[in-house]
Every structure is written in C-alpha cells, then in structure tokens.
C-alpha cells in the first residue's frame, strides 16, 4: 500500500500497491503491519456498507465524542463519492479546516480518517456503495455532527445536494473545540 498524508495531519490517502498479470491484479486493502509502520490504527471492530441510490446524496458530517471517537478507513466499492473530513482536534493547527477527495470504484483509493475528525460524503453518481472499517463500536449517545453547509467551514461540494436525511440537515454549525481529543 502507498500512504500519502493529506494537508490535515494524520489523515491519509491510501492507494493499492497492485501486483498485475494477465488475470488482473492482486493487492492488500489492509495490512496490520503496514498501518502500524505508519503509526495508524490497526484494530477495527466494525465493517459498514452504505448504499446510495441517487447522485447528490449527502451523508454526514458525522463523528463520535470521547471516549468513543473512531478511526475510519473509507473506500467506495461501486460508483464514486466526494469524501470530506473536517479537523475538530483541540490544539490542531488545522482545526476547523476540511479536505475533500474523490473515492471511486475506478481509482480504488481509501481515506484514513483519524480520531477527532468529522466525516461525510456526497455521491457523484447513482448506485454508489461505500465500505468502511471503524475502530470503535457505534454508540448512539456519542454521535454528533456538523452542518454540511456551514459557512464557517466553507465546504465546496461538487454537486448540488438532492438527498439528505432530516438528521443530517439539522446538525449544528461548527463550534471550536467540539471534540476533546487533542491533536497528535
């Protein structure tokens, strides 16, 4: 695997290191040793799948508060999404900043989302399916979110939002230091 740190410290794009031949290719999508060598999370307790019928579907921006903060490893396995993370870590030089990346079945990229980040995505095509591993069990009482259209964040979504849940549309605006996890 190839690891490329984003401008938000601790968040990585992970690309497959493909071994190709006449059959196609083989690659590791996760390796405890390789993730550990980059000081990244190596223990995941859940694997989640999210299927989205329509382009323009927005999910997020979600996070869990301490002590249930989670690391996510996100991959789009069908179609394409625009994946966004927001740094919420106290003391981080990039707190309140976001970055976005296209993940698709074609590019096979993954996004490593560290603890202390909000995460969400917008589907770019119909029938997009996302698979992600998480390091903590979902804890309803620890779930929080941010508004996808908060002017303080200034996220530029590549398509208009056409489908969003009532809960995701009602999240509060960004407030500094909403997460207690310190920046690493």
**Would you name the residues annotated as active-site residues?**
62, 132
CA torsion angle for 47, 53, 54, 56 (degrees, to 10)?
-20
CA pair distance 84, 157, nearest whole angstrom:
9
CB 61 within 8 A of CB 145: yes
Phi, psi of 168 (to 5 degrees): -65, -30
CA pair distance 17, 29, nearest whole angstrom:
9
Omega prior to 92 cis, within 30 of 0? no
Between vectors from CA 82 to CA 80 and to CA 86, what angle results, nearest 5°?
Answer: 150
Structure tokens at 50: 């999210």
CA torsion angle for 94, 99, 103, 107 (degrees, to 10)?
-90
CB 73 within 8 A of CB 27: no
């Amino acid at each position: 695997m190839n690891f490329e740190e984003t401008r938000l410290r601790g968040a990585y794009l992970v690309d497959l290191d493909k071994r190709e031949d006449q059959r196609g290719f083989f690659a590791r999508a996760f390796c405890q040793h390789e993730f550990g060598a980059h000081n990244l999370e190596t223990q995941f307790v859940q694997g989640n799948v999210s299927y989205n019928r329509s382009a323009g579907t927005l999910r997020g921006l979600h996070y869990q508060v301490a002590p249930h903060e989670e690391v996510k490893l996100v991959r789009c396995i069908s179609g394409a999404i625009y994946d966004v993370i927001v740094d919420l870590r106290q003391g981080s030089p990039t707190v309140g900043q976001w970055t976005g990346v296209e993940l698709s079945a074609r590019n096979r990229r993954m996004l490593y989302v560290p603890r202390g980040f909000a995460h969400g995505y917008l589907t770019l095509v119909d029938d997009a399916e996302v698979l992600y591993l998480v390091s903590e069990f979902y804890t309803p009482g620890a779930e929080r979110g941010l508004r996808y259209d908060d002017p303080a964040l200034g996220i530029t979504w590549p398509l208009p939002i056409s489908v969003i849940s009532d809960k995701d549309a009602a999240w509060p605006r960004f407030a500094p230091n909403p997460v207690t996890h310190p920046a690493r």
